[in-house]
Structure 1
């Protein structure tokens, strides 16, 4: 009997290439580490497409689908991964694929998504009543279009092999590199922490960012055309983070009343001025810590948090780690 565990990843036009190759490379590296120890390979990697042949990715180059998902016996698959990318919208309307996923789900040991691939699982009805995450930019769409899903926008993945609610069978992960974190978690569940650590070291990765850790995504200044009444103010704020950025001060800078400014922020950004300022300050602090440019106390002062304790509270609130932990992991 073949003891290799088949890790299959879906391939479709305009898929995000790294959503496919990132996790698969992690599993391949686990095989390499075992072979270095004189042990047999544990995983077989398989790329599935609607038809056999080359498929164009969103990066412009092509990947090869080795077998059609229409023809494979799903019971042969141990773990099935659904990647994301711009092409996921068309796959959410691919009735044949969605029907196949519903048929395959009870036959595979594990079924997971990477990035916006969660929307494909949602379209198939496989996330109803479950907790799920996806890329931060797609979280609102997932929440709006699939109200039966508990969307966890600020976590890296929902895989938990010990979970009694089925998160060891169906799970999701956030943007691109979170799929790599997910693959490491799957390897640790299969082969133990020592092997997962060896793979992480070989790939020069942080061993395991906990699945519940927040997505570290930049809050970028929106295009001026999207925020016509706030464009000038939003360009001014990052250069004055240590200044008084109270509602009254911002309103004076924008030549609006505080009440009007609050209303415009909600209309154009979906959040109030205070929340926006905190997120911009947090993003600046994150980059300073990541670049090891200053102490935590100095970072707190430069970014307008004033005191390290205020910085710590904001990090825990939005990123689920302390500034010290963040600096140790990413500096």
Structure 2
């Protein structure tokens, strides 16, 4: 009889409940699909806490830890998942937990994180010199506090079943639902594409979502304390997206020489004026498409892209999907006159 793979997920106070239940449900659904085929369950599932008993998540719900990670024989584990959540910062200071993760890493076949759980793996030193991602809101923290980590901004997860490097058994995933994408990839590697596709279909998911996490994240408002010289200009730009936002036009508005403005943008925002304008225009186009307020041609005109083809190229460049696909996936209502995609 085929032996079951033991999948365990760590939990702790103020963990993100979906980081735990989302991936674990994928493995549970794989068991159900196997049973429908007359096959035995492929996975044994458990959650691990500091102690056995209920653990309050950040949602106010409790998840019961069936086993304690303290003293657990990690060599019996196939896959260990480390979720994120509001409580992850406290866990990053728990030396006993960090030591346990370091001890577990060479013993488990696969060690992965979900969302900000990457910060916990990084705190244990397990992501040094490895590619890693996390929730888009935590990318800067990961990059700043753990410079040895090879941070990858726009990945849903870093698991690669074809990678034969010995370090490939440690991987990360991006924000929240990307943990489900990761779990589907693990199931596909274990049980084949057909079974993974059946699970994805049952959960009404993509087996592989097109694009990366940038298509789900928001353009954060600049910190006014860091952009004092540009504050007025940055307020002005969103109200004039359909107009001339060339370097010369922006420099005239800011009352700076073009070269000076370019230097200030890089110093205060980490990017040049052209790239910043493109991102703001992209965010505005996304908002219009999500609200289904206009056709793609009109959205392109209102946001300064001009021709729909320019909008399409920008969407593919940053989000790896077309405006039409984005509108269909995230729009609140059917898109008007969508033939221009």
User: Shorter-normalised TM-score: what interval?
Assistant: 0.7 to 0.9
- 5+ residue gaps, structure 2, are 332-341
Q: In the alignment, which residue of structure 2 is the partner of 1:184?
A: 184
Range moving further from structure 2, 20-29 or 221-230: 221-230
Q: In the alignment, which residue of structure 2 is the partner of 1:213?
A: 212
Map 1:202-241; keep pairs closer than 5 Å.
202-209=202-209, 213-216=212-215, 217-222=217-222, 233-241=233-241
Map 1:125-136; keep pairs closer than 5 Å.
125-136=125-136
Cα pair distance change 1:224/1:196, threshold 3 Å: same
The 8 Å contact of residues 7 and 45 in structure 2, kept in 1 or not, is answered as yes
The 8 Å contact of residues 175 and 213 in structure 2, kept in 1 or not, is answered as no
Q: Once the 2 structures are TM-superposed, how far is the Cα of residue 93 of structure 1 from its aligned partner?
A: 1.7
TM-score for the superposition, normalised by structure 1: 0.87
Cα pair distance change 1:2/1:188, threshold 3 Å: closer
Map 1:143-182; keep pairs closer than 5 Å.
143-166=143-166, 168-182=168-182
Q: Once the 2 structures are TM-superposed, how far is the Cα of residue 277 of structure 1 from its aligned partner?
A: 1.8
Q: Distance in 2 between matches of 1:231 and 1:176?
A: 32
* 1:4-33 deviation digits (Å, cap 9, x = unpaired): 212111111221121111111121122222
Q: Distance in 2 between matches of 1:250 and 1:73?
A: 62
Q: Once the 2 structures are TM-superposed, how far is the Cα of residue 286 of structure 1 from its aligned partner?
A: 3.0
Map 1:42-191; keep pairs closer than 5 Å.
42-166=42-166, 168-191=168-191
Q: How many residues align?
A: 330
Cα pair distance change 1:58/1:257, threshold 3 Å: farther
Q: In the alignment, which residue of structure 1 is the partner of 2:273?
A: 273
Range moving further from structure 2, 213-222 or 250-259: 250-259
Q: Distance in 1 between matches of 2:66 and 2:2?
A: 19
Cα pair distance change 1:229/1:65, threshold 3 Å: farther
- 5+ residue gaps, structure 1, are none
Q: Distance in 2 between matches of 1:62 and 1:262?
A: 51
TM-score for the superposition, normalised by structure 2: 0.85
Q: Distance in 2 between matches of 1:330 and 1:78?
A: 36
Work out whether 1:16 is the aligned partner of 2:20: no
Q: Please tell me the root mean square deviation across aligned C-alpha atoms, in Å.
A: 2.7
The 8 Å contact of residues 16 and 59 in structure 1, kept in 2 or not, is answered as yes
Range moving further from structure 2, 117-126 or 252-261: 252-261
The 8 Å contact of residues 221 and 234 in structure 1, kept in 2 or not, is answered as no
Q: In the alignment, which residue of structure 1 is the partner of 2:283?
A: 283
Q: Distance in 1 between matches of 2:222 and 2:57?
A: 27
The 8 Å contact of residues 214 and 318 in structure 2, kept in 1 or not, is answered as no
Cα pair distance change 1:118/1:62, threshold 3 Å: same
Q: Once the 2 structures are TM-superposed, how far is the Cα of residue 154 of structure 1 from its aligned partner?
A: 1.3
Q: Distance in 2 between matches of 1:175 and 1:137?
A: 9
Cα pair distance change 1:190/1:272, threshold 3 Å: same
Range moving further from structure 2, 165-174 or 125-134: 165-174
User: What SS does structure 2 have at the residue aligned with 1:115?
Assistant: coil
Q: Distance in 2 between matches of 1:31 and 1:295?
A: 44
* 1:146-173 deviation digits (Å, cap 9, x = unpaired): 2222111111110001112346411111
Q: In the alignment, which residue of structure 1 is the partner of 2:301?
A: 301
Q: Once the 2 structures are TM-superposed, how far is the Cα of residue 322 of structure 1 from its aligned partner?
A: 4.2
Cα pair distance change 1:110/1:262, threshold 3 Å: same
